[in-house]
Chains A and B, each alone.
Chain A
Amino acid sequence: MSAAILAQSLVKRYGDFTAVAGLDLEIGNGEFFGLLGPNGAGKSTSIHMLSSLVQPTAGRAEVCGIDTQADPVAVRQRIGLVFQDSALDRQLSVWENLRFTGLLHDLPLEQTRERAEHLIRLFGLEEKRDKPVGSLSGGQRRALDIARGVLHRPQVLFLDEPTIGLDLPSRRRIWRFIAQLRAETGMTVLLTTHYLEEAADCDRVAFIRGGRIVLQGEPDALVRDLGSDIVEVSADQPEAVRAELESVLGPARVEFETLAFRPPRHDAAALAGLTESLGDRVRGVVVRRPNLNDVFLWVNQ
């Protein structure tokens, strides 16, 4: 059985800037896959190539076993893409946008209406149904953008930064919608995000940096491999206490006024003693479970 998404040494160069520097991916049917990395890592360009909209400079890609360059229309028939920036028509209402999308995908009007009503209910947009998109909140617009992306029941859904620019409650709601859609349809989902910790629910994640994948695996396993809790010490002059702390906790990662450590084992008593001996020189000590963000940061150490 062929993979839902396959990328082999995908490269995209713009002039002498390399956006994607040889991307290899193999994502199975029904998988929930996260492509993670900072802004500018090449996530969007990768999605645009996988969805047939941008021609790779080198390498090839397949979606549902179809070559993206050989038959882009067949690829677009099977995928949904929620762009990072809205694709909605602000002058049209919620329903009119979905109706337009349905017609563009050659769906009979009755089918469009049925699915649109379902999605409008699922995403809590009932009251906005006949309001222009310009009157929607950021979270509602993103929800509608996702509804637009799945109206034609794609086998593969690409979500490019689905939660960017949203407040926390909206972000949670968007993740819940995505989970509901997956439960309902079983479709393959490839998402990108730079809020790395949000990708914990993915089946697998890959970290991308400088246009290539630097690490991939199951989120739990990646976090587990990190091995230990994270100790964060904040201080007015972190460099002054760094050496002393490193002798006990191992090498530090400095972030502004915070020193982060990954001590080989968690010794609460030793930590308490250390905090006491440092006294006023530190402002606070926090011990917490690691997340994907930590994985990414420590990997790039």
Chain B
Amino acid sequence: MADHVPVTAVTATAAPARPSLWRPVYAVVERDLVKLWRQKGRLLSALVRPLIWLFVIGAGFEATVGGGEGSYRSFLVPGVMGMAILFGALLGALSTVYEKESGVMRMLVIAPFAHRWIVFAKMQAAAVSAVFQALLLLLVLALLGDLPATPGWPLLALGIVSTAYACAGIGMLVAAFSRTLDNFAAIMNFVIFPVFFLSGSLYPVGNLPGLLGVAAQLNPYTYGVDLLKHALPQSAGHAADFTVAMDVLVLAGFTLLAFAVSAWRFSREQAYAPLFGLATAKGGKPGSGKPGGPPPDK
């Protein structure tokens, strides 16, 4: 026969070694970065969105409120850096929901590692692509002359990375509890915008009155922007609201908590409902199944 092929028996009875985790985690991170790189529109809007805020809102507020030349715009720089990270990490993490819907997640659930590592890998991927987008923005800001003369580089690196992880954590929490991306507008309205507006991105946290101020203090993203403010000291002297130690502590604590909760959620089969037809109809809402006729065996 022409199609003679080497025979390789798979009758090995010895227990194979446990697979390591670094290759799978690397695979997920690499794939998400490759996809991001190919979606030039997504990459471009990740850059343009913060720049629009910087130019339009920055200029608009300065004209309204007055103040020193360029002072509000320089106040906004850490905020728009944070924005690039927030959107980058959140969209990266939310792709998990898309992967559940499109079925790509099947490749991950059948792979030989515990399902909590899917959350771990997706969080890494979301954080790494957010850092990548933040670095691109940083480059553009440097070219535009919007960076302070003496940024604290180590602090900036710490700020970007820890904000990226915290935002990936917010995204994974949303992803872990979202069935579909149909309600993306709702996610935009009830997650992304509040997280962004109720932070120190646009104004010092102290300026937010009453409950809004409390909400900002409960918002982990606030501490990310605050850390970026420490790293990008402004000439006009707007001080950050919290200490560096406080910022790092809150960001790290929140990231671990978010990982724990979404890992728990993803280790339950209900999280994969869209992948196993039946559970879609019945899993989440007991008793909501249609009467008469068995559900389709998908």
A and B are interacting partners: yes
Interface residues of A (CB under 8 A from B): 14-15, 17, 19, 29-30, 39-45, 48, 51, 53-55, 72-74, 76-81, 83-92, 96, 100-101, 103-107, 118, 122, 148, 153-155, 180, 184-187
B272 and A91 form a contact (CB under 8 A): no
Q: Which residues from B are CB-within-8-Å of A17?
A: 278, 282, 289, 294-295
Most interface-central of B6, B30, B298 (chain A CB within 10 A): B298
Given the interface pairs A14-B282, A15-B282, A91-B38, the reply to whether A39 lies near B296 with Cβ below 8 Å is yes
- Residues in chain B near residue A43, CB distance under 8 A: 297
What are the interface flags for B234-267 relative to A under an 8 Å C-beta threshold, 1 for contact and 0 otherwise? 0000000000000000000000000000000000
Q: Indicate whether B107 reaches chain A with its CB closer than 8 angstroms.
A: yes
CA of A154 to CA of B112, assembled, Å: 11
Inter-chain contact A53/B287, CB cutoff 8 Å: no
Verify A53–B272 contact, CB threshold 8 A: yes
**Interface assignment of B211: CB less than 8 Å from any CB of chain A:** no
Q: Is the CB of B297 within 8 A of A39?
A: yes
CA distance A154 to B103 in the complex (A): 21
Q: Which of A81, A90, A153 contacts B8 (CB 8 A)?
A: A153
Q: A76-B110, A76-B111, A185-B8 are in contact. List 6 more A-B contacts (CB 8 A).
A: A30-B11, A40-B294, A53-B272, A91-B38, A103-B26, A148-B107
A77 contacts which of B19, B23, B107, B108 (Cβ < 8 Å)?
B19
- B279 interfacial contact with A, CB 8 Å: yes
What are 24 inter-chain pairs, A to B, with CB distance below 8 A?
A: A15-B286, A17-B295, A19-B278, A40-B294, A44-B297, A45-B276, A53-B109, A53-B110, A74-B15, A76-B110, A77-B16, A83-B106, A88-B104, A91-B38, A100-B31, A100-B107, A103-B24, A103-B27, A104-B24, A105-B112, A153-B8, A155-B11, A184-B8, A185-B7
A15–B112 touching, CB < 8 Å:
no
Q: Do B8 and A14 touch across chains, with their CB atoms under 8 A apart? A: no
Contact of A45 among B30, B109, B111, B297 (CB under 8 A): B297
**Inter-subunit contact A14/B279 (CB<8 Å):** yes
Chain B neighbourhood of A90, CB < 8 A? 102
What chain A residues lie within 8 Å of B10 (beta carbons)? 153-155, 185-187
- Bound Cα distance A187, B10 (Å): 7
C-alpha spacing A148/B106, complex, angstroms = 11
Query: Shortest beta-carbon distance, B68 to chain A, in Å?
Result: 48
Report yes or no: A106 in contact with B283, Cβ–Cβ below 8 A.
Answer: no
Beta-carbon nearest neighbor of A42 in chain B: B297
